[in-house]
Amino acid sequence: MTQLAQSSGKQTGHIEISQVHIHLGEGSDRFEALQNVTIDVAPGEFVCILGPSGCGKSTLLGALAGHLHQSRGTIQVDSASVAKPHPDRGLVFQHHTLFPWKSVLNNVAFGLKMQGVPRKERLQRAKDLLNLVGLAGFENRFPSQLSGGMQQRVEIARVLINHPSVMLMDEPFGALDAQTRLMMQQLLLEVWARIRTTIVFITHDIDEALFLADRILVMSPRPGRIIEEIALDFPRPRQTDIMTSAHFTELKRHCLALLHPDSNHEPLPRLTPLGSPPVTRMQFAV
Amino acid sequence: MSALASSVAVVDDVKLPAKRQFNPGKIAIRLLSLAVCVLIWHWASTARVNLGIVAFQNVPTPVDVFHAAWELLHSSVIVSHLKASISRVITGFLAAALAGIALGVLIGRYRVFENTLLPPLEVLRPIPAVAWIPLAILMFPSSEMSMIYITFTGALFPILLNTIHGVEAVDPRLIASARSLGATRTALLLEVVLPAATPGIFTGLTIGMGTAWFCLVTAEMISGQFGIGYYTWMSYTIQNYAEIIVGMLLIGVLGMASSALVRQIGNLLMPWYTLQRKKS
Amino acid sequence: MKLKLTVLSALLAVMAAGSVQAETIRVAIGTQDTTINCATGGLLIRELKLLEKYLPRDGKYKDVQYDIQWKNFTSGAPLTNEMLAGKLDLGSMADFPGSFNGAAFAKAGKKSEFITVLSGSTTGSGNGIVVPKDSPVQSLSELKGKTISVPFASTAHGMLLRAIADQGWTVDKDVSVITQAPEVAGPALQANKIDAHADFVPFAELFPYRGFARKIFDGSQANSPTLHGSLVDSEYGKKYPEIVTAYLRAAIEANRLITAEPEKYSELIAKVTGIEPEVNYLFHGPLGLQTRDFTFKPEYRQAIKTSIETLRLMKRTDADLDVNTFVNDQYIRAALKQAGQDYEANLKNYARTPLKAKDARTGKDITDFKRVAQIWVNGEPLVRHYASPESAFADLAALEKSGKKARVVYAQDRNSGNKLLAGDAWFVKNKGEISAFLSKDQAEAWAKSKGGDVLNFDAVKAAI
């Protein structure tokens, strides 16, 4: 357990996004996904980016992860420019990306394997992390044998094993049912309380953003811009009863107004951290 | 572990695969279908059925074929025939597996290889085995190698194309996650791309094993004394029609059995895949 | 109404009349064009449209429409397959595949008959054994312990087994025999992948002519008579004997034409098959390697009998084919009679295709036909004949000096009289006399007993 606690005094995970524009698509399909975004995230802060579908929040996450490049502006983490993917900036997808051919334990241990950590040690550390997320006993199952919520927990554990200074989460609970989602949110807060990595959490669920974040950044529809910043002062650890408080409801009303100024807008297709929505190519059978 | 975490563990339930049922009914139906086919064949050949567009007057009866098969299986040369053919098919197949998988991964993964290697391979692909015979004889140091080359060409392309397909179909998010977890280029290839492409590769290997047998008769026309293909062709030359059918059926059975073997090996190596398939 | 009735009945009458008159009889013939000695039974008839000249048009054939179909094959087995399936009525092949044809028909409850010989050699020439050009092997005895390939169940296979037995060898113990079709053997010889290859017409001469092989054994050395001939589906023959006879008359006419102008028709065969005219002339020219024959000489009947016996061994069946009922000479006797020839007289004639010519150098008539040599000069339509190899070589030197080139030079083997490609042959020069031999050891044996120097073709040219 102590291995996982953040060592005191180290303030890593400072994100500085400065005047970033991101364009996606090629040729005539090229469009501006993000427009002049400037964000500063303090080390250990839990920030939610809230915005309508297709506004570019996943695109921003992708650039932070290092999978996309901005067309203008700079992105820095701890004063170093983000150029390519790195285990220090872990990425959690909405639908898990666990390796189907590896057991749950080996999936979680993967990051350590890439670092060259010997087998016995990395499997033990993976086991400890699985305990933390409540999956003790499921080490030798294959991902396809787990439910959605469990799969997401493994996905998170897999990222955490690298002690990332930044954890990037792309609507990680969006595919889960309401009850599982609530439990996962509570689990995340518990784990984060122990580890205190910087979290950038994408969602379009207002309740979720208000429940989880220190700060909410509201994004406009495409091209995405930050239109408002809302600081949240609900006490931690967050309890579920805040969701029925008056302050919560007021903030929710405010966010709703920001997100749905006119209901005539057609919702745009969802973007991913890897770029524009994938175009299906005609593949001829062998 | 907090109370919350442990409670979450209890609520989610795990789906376990159903135990594989031994189904005697299914086996009975399959055997019955084969028996019916043999009966129809028996009737058509003994009654010398002539439908105008296809005639069974000169087709040997199942009884003739059975006698010929019996004689072959009890002859002193059957082992030599089997050994010769099986070694040619397996060697050609293994060479094709090596080349097909290696080239397939390169072509599927790197555009430069796709642009340089794929065009010549696509030109060679439609060339039938028979057409390769003269070159095969000129290019290789021995007749045995020429024959192995022919079975190699038979197996190569299904393996190659299915590998390319399997590699190209790897979920890009898996690759992105692997990179975000610190995977190097080599690790990506070995830890992610190859395992992800394995189901596709094994599809190719299973098909390739069948097509290697397919080319066997052609291969053994090159020269010989032994081999099932040679036996079939020789029987044709001296008009022993029952033996021709024995040769055909033997190739069919051996092809089917070896294909199934490859598939089984694949299933053993891909336990996660069979689990996924059984779920649906 | 009346008009409609008239038109309708007129139409019906025409149709009825047409159906009675327009009987179509199929004449489907299978050929082996590349087996050039079958040319008179296939290629020549087809190309020169001789069949149409002789098909009956009287009596019961008065208003018949003939549907003539030609199909070509590279060996006998697929041809037999089609005859058995009822797709062909007549076909040409050698003695061995012919016997398999007869057996296959018998097994199917039908019958096929050998109706004529087209070309053969009572001594066995036409089949031969070759080695790769660079092989050190000069004779069959040197092939002990080696591997010889041969097209399976062919007339060459029969010869090879005979030759091996003559050496006192046992197959698989002293020598290994494997199957290889001629189209596959060619590349194998070129690439030196096979120790030796035995084959039928024209391959044992064609491969040397093309420069990648050397002939070391002629079928006559095994004394195994060989023939190519034609077969017919008996039922067809019984139904249309006149058509079968007409086919044979066409073959006889083709024979007459090629006897008269061998160079012209060798070129025609070359055009259709791709087999060089020089090789075609080797077989079809005067004093050729095989004799075109339409009679079932006792040697040929024996060859068929031997092939039936060997067939029993190979097929491991007791296919009982009686050579006396399998061979049916009634049609060819009738055809020869119609053509004004005598079957019995031809039966007794064992001479090669005769040569009536003058020595191109001296101008004198050639009377001795044991040492004839020939030169086919580039650009000339006819072959030059010479009474002796020395006369030919002298003329060759003169021709080359005047800037002319020889397409091919032929000489007769001193021992057997078989025509050879002089370019590959061995010679003994004894003062002025030059003798030709197929193999080096034969030449050396002659030189030892009669004196003289053993030389190859180029050495002889240089010595003139």
Residues on chain B touching A147 (C-beta within 8 angstroms): 12-15
| Centroid of chain to Cα B62 | 27
Banded pLDDT at B273 (limits 50, 70, 90): confident
Residues on chain C touching B57 (C-beta within 8 angstroms): 108
Number of other residues whose CB lies within 10 A of the CB of residue B186: 8
The reply to whether residue A85 touches residue B179, judged by beta carbons under 8 angstroms, is: yes
Q: Which of A39-43, A241-245, B56-60 has the lowest mean pLDDT?
A: B56-60
Nearest CA in chain B to A101: B272
- Residue C221's φ and ψ, nearest 5 degrees, are -70, -20
* pLDDT value of position C121: 94
Which of A201, A210, A204 minimizes the C-alpha distance to A250? A210
The reply to whether residue A132 touches residue B6, judged by beta carbons under 8 angstroms, is: no
Which of B145, B177, C462 minimizes the C-alpha distance to A152? B177
Cα separation of B34 and B37, whole Å? Answer: 5
> Is residue C69 predicted with pLDDT exceeding 60?
yes
Burial class (CB in 10 A: 0-12, 13-18, 19+), C244: buried
Average pLDDT over all residues of chain C: 91
Q: What's the whole-number mean pLDDT along residues C151-155?
A: 89
Distances (CA, A) of C248 to B27, B121, C49: 61, 53, 13
- Give me the residue label for tokens 């034969």: C442
Banded pLDDT at B7 (limits 50, 70, 90): very low
Cα separation of A104 and A133, whole Å? Answer: 12
**B217, B238, B240, B243: best mutation site toward chain C, by most C Cβ within 10 Å?**
B238
Banded pLDDT at C246 (limits 50, 70, 90): very high
* pLDDT value of position B13: 47
* pLDDT value of position A116: 93
Nearest CA in chain C to B130: C184
Window B:175-214, CB contacts with C under 8 Å: none
Banded pLDDT at C18 (limits 50, 70, 90): low
pLDDT digits (tens, 9 = 90+) for C79-122: 998 998 889 999 999 999 999 899 889 888 899 999 999 999 99
The sign one gets for the Cα dihedral A119, A121, A124, A129 is negative
SS3 B206: helix
- Residue A183's φ and ψ, nearest 5 degrees, are -65, -40
Contact C213, C197 (CB under 8 A): yes
The reply to whether residue B58 touches residue C179, judged by beta carbons under 8 angstroms, is: no
Nearest CA in chain C to B243: C315
Cα separation of A116 and A114, whole Å? Answer: 5
Burial class (CB in 10 A: 0-12, 13-18, 19+), B239: buried
Burial class (CB in 10 A: 0-12, 13-18, 19+), A230: middle
A263 touches chain B (CB under 8 A): no
First to last CA, chain A: 51
pLDDT digits (tens, 9 = 90+) for C356-369: 999 999 999 999 89
Which of B39, B51, B67 minimizes the C-alpha distance to B241? B67
Residues on chain C touching B71 (C-beta within 8 angstroms): 316
Question: Least CB-CB distance to B58: which of C108, C183, C314?
Answer: C108
Structure tokens at B67: 């006698």
The reply to whether residue C184 touches residue B236, judged by beta carbons under 8 angstroms, is: no
* pLDDT value of position C37: 92
Q: What's the whole-number mean pLDDT along residues C32-49?
A: 94
> Is residue B16 predicted with pLDDT exceeding 90?
no
Contact C446, C414 (CB under 8 A): yes
Residues on chain B touching A143 (C-beta within 8 angstroms): 272
Instruction: Give the contacts of C289 (CB within 8 A, at least 6 positions apart).
Output: C121, C125, C126, C205, C282, C283, C418, C419
Which of C290, C241, C296 minimizes the C-alpha distance to C262? C290
Q: Which subunits have 3 or more CB–CB pairs within 8 Å of chain C?
A: B
pLDDT digits (tens, 9 = 90+) for C323-343: 899 999 999 999 999 999 999
| Residues in chain A, total | 286
Q: Give the closest-approach CA distance of B141 to chain C in angstroms.
A: 7
What is this structure's pTM?
Answer: 0.78
Q: Give the closest-approach CA distance of C315 to chain B in angstroms.
A: 7
Question: Least CB-CB distance to A158: which of B181, B191, B272?
Answer: B181
pLDDT digits (tens, 9 = 90+) for C194-234: 999 999 999 999 999 999 999 999 999 999 999 999 999 99
Residues on chain A touching B14 (C-beta within 8 angstroms): 138, 141, 145-147, 150
The reply to whether residue A114 touches residue B183, judged by beta carbons under 8 angstroms, is: yes
Contact C155, C225 (CB under 8 A): no
Distances (CA, A) of B43 to B30, B57, C134, C171, C336: 20, 11, 58, 42, 47
* pLDDT value of position B23: 79
Residues on chain B touching A90 (C-beta within 8 angstroms): 180-181
Residues on chain A touching B163 (C-beta within 8 angstroms): none
> Is residue C252 predicted with pLDDT exceeding 60?
yes
3-state helix, strand, coil in chain B (%, to 5): 80, 0, 20
* pLDDT value of position B9: 46
The reply to whether residue A187 touches residue B279, judged by beta carbons under 8 angstroms, is: no
The reply to whether residue C184 touches residue B238, judged by beta carbons under 8 angstroms, is: no
Banded pLDDT at A1 (limits 50, 70, 90): very low
Provide the residue type at C220 as one letter.
Answer: S
Query: What ranges in C182-297 are assigned the alpha helix state H?
Result: 182-190, 203-209, 234-239, 241-260, 262-273, 277-284
Nearest CA in chain A to B200: A286
The reply to whether residue A134 touches residue B177, judged by beta carbons under 8 angstroms, is: no
The reply to whether residue A274 touches residue B176, judged by beta carbons under 8 angstroms, is: yes
Chain A to chain B, count of Cβ pairs less than 8 Å apart?
Answer: 132
Q: Residue C93 pairs with which residues in a beta bridge?
A: C229
Percent of chain A beyond pLDDT 90? 72
| Centroid of chain to Cα C348 | 20
SS (H, E, C) A26-40: CHHHCEEEEEEEEEE
B60-279: which CATH topology? MetI-like fold (1.10.3720)
Pairing of strands C373-377, A226-231: unpaired
Which of B228, B207, B221, B204 minimizes the C-alpha distance to B132? B221
Question: Least CB-CB distance to A99: which of B165, B174, B179?
Answer: B174
Percent of chain C beyond pLDDT 90? 76
Cα separation of B107 and B19, whole Å? Answer: 39
B56 touches chain C (CB under 8 A): no
* pLDDT value of position A109: 96
Q: What's the whole-number mean pLDDT along residues A257-279?
A: 74
Q: Which subunits have 3 or more CB–CB pairs within 8 Å of chain B?
A: A, C
* pLDDT value of position A263: 60
Contact C75, C97 (CB under 8 A): yes
The reply to whether residue B221 touches residue C181, judged by beta carbons under 8 angstroms, is: yes
Structure tokens at C283: 């077989």
Please indicate whether residue B112 or residue C320 has the higher confidence score (pLDDT).
B112
Distances (CA, A) of A231 to A37, A215, B195: 18, 4, 45
* pLDDT value of position C318: 64
Cα separation of B212 and B89, whole Å? Answer: 6
Number of other residues whose CB lies within 10 A of the CB of residue A253: 11
Q: What's the whole-number mean pLDDT along residues B76-100?
A: 93
The reply to whether residue B180 touches residue A114, judged by beta carbons under 8 angstroms, is: no
Residues on chain C touching B142 (C-beta within 8 angstroms): 193
Contact C26, C69 (CB under 8 A): yes
pLDDT digits (tens, 9 = 90+) for C372-421: 999 999 999 999 999 999 999 999 999 999 999 999 999 999 999 999 99
Window B:69-108, CB contacts with C under 8 Å: 71
Contact C89, C27 (CB under 8 A): yes
Which of C399, C402, C413 minimizes the C-alpha distance to C443? C413
The reply to whether residue B238 touches residue C108, judged by beta carbons under 8 angstroms, is: no
The sign one gets for the Cα dihedral A274, A278, A282, A283 is positive
Cα separation of A182 and B181, whole Å? Answer: 27
* pLDDT value of position C153: 85
Nearest CA in chain C to B221: C180
pLDDT digits (tens, 9 = 90+) for B213-252: 989 888 887 777 789 988 888 888 877 888 999 999 999 9
Q: Residue C375 pairs with which residues in a beta bridge?
A: C384, C409
Banded pLDDT at A183 (limits 50, 70, 90): very high
Structure tokens at A32: 């501006």
Nearest CA in chain B to A160: B181
Q: What's the whole-number mean pLDDT along residues B147-174?
A: 95
Q: What's the whole-number mean pLDDT along residues B183-206?
A: 94
B234 touches chain C (CB under 8 A): yes
Q: Where are the domains of chain B?
A: 18-59, 60-279
Question: Least CB-CB distance to B221: which of C149, C184, C315?
Answer: C184
Which of C68, C241, C76, C214 minimizes the C-alpha distance to C137? C214
* pLDDT value of position C17: 57
> Is residue C20 predicted with pLDDT exceeding 60?
no
pLDDT digits (tens, 9 = 90+) for A101-142: 999 999 999 999 999 999 999 999 999 999 999 999 999 999
Contact C231, C115 (CB under 8 A): yes
Cα separation of B23 and A247, whole Å? Answer: 64
Nearest CA in chain A to B182: A87
Which of C127, C119, C204 minimizes the C-alpha distance to C162? C127
* pLDDT value of position B51: 79
Residues on chain B touching C153 (C-beta within 8 angstroms): 234, 237-238
Q: Which of A261-270, C118-127, C198-207, C247-256 has the lowest mean pLDDT?
A: A261-270
Which of C331, C332, C326 minimizes the C-alpha distance to C100? C326
Cis peptide before A237 (omega within 30 of 0): yes
- Give me the residue label for tokens 């092809």: B255
* pLDDT value of position B250: 92
SS3 B208: helix
Which of A74, A92, A83, A84 minimizes the C-alpha distance to A15? A74
Which of A88, A111, A93, A71 minimizes the C-alpha distance to A15? A88
Q: Residue C377 pairs with which residues in a beta bridge?
A: C406
The reply to whether residue B224 touches residue C104, judged by beta carbons under 8 angstroms, is: no
Q: What's the whole-number mean pLDDT along residues A175-199?
A: 92
Please indicate whether residue C1 or residue C75 has the higher confidence score (pLDDT).
C75
Q: What's the whole-number mean pLDDT along residues C269-295?
A: 93
Which residues on chain C place their C-beta less than 8 Å from a C-beta of chain B? 75, 77, 80-81, 84-85, 100-101, 103-104, 107-108, 149, 152-153, 176-181, 183-184, 186-188, 190-191, 193-194, 311, 314-317
Residues on chain A touching B156 (C-beta within 8 angstroms): none
Residues on chain B touching C319 (C-beta within 8 angstroms): none
* pLDDT value of position B207: 94
Which of C55, C31, C58 minimizes the C-alpha distance to C44? C31
Cα separation of A216 and A47, whole Å? Answer: 6
Q: Which subunits have 3 or more CB–CB pairs within 8 Å of chain A?
A: B
Q: Give the closest-approach CA distance of B167 to chain A in angstroms.
A: 13
Average pLDDT over all residues of chain A: 88
Which of C416, C399, A99, C425 minimizes the C-alpha distance to B173? A99
> Is residue B178 predicted with pLDDT exceeding 80?
yes
Burial class (CB in 10 A: 0-12, 13-18, 19+), C271: exposed
- Residue C255's φ and ψ, nearest 5 degrees, are -65, -45
Burial class (CB in 10 A: 0-12, 13-18, 19+), C199: buried
pLDDT digits (tens, 9 = 90+) for A195-204: 889 999 999 8
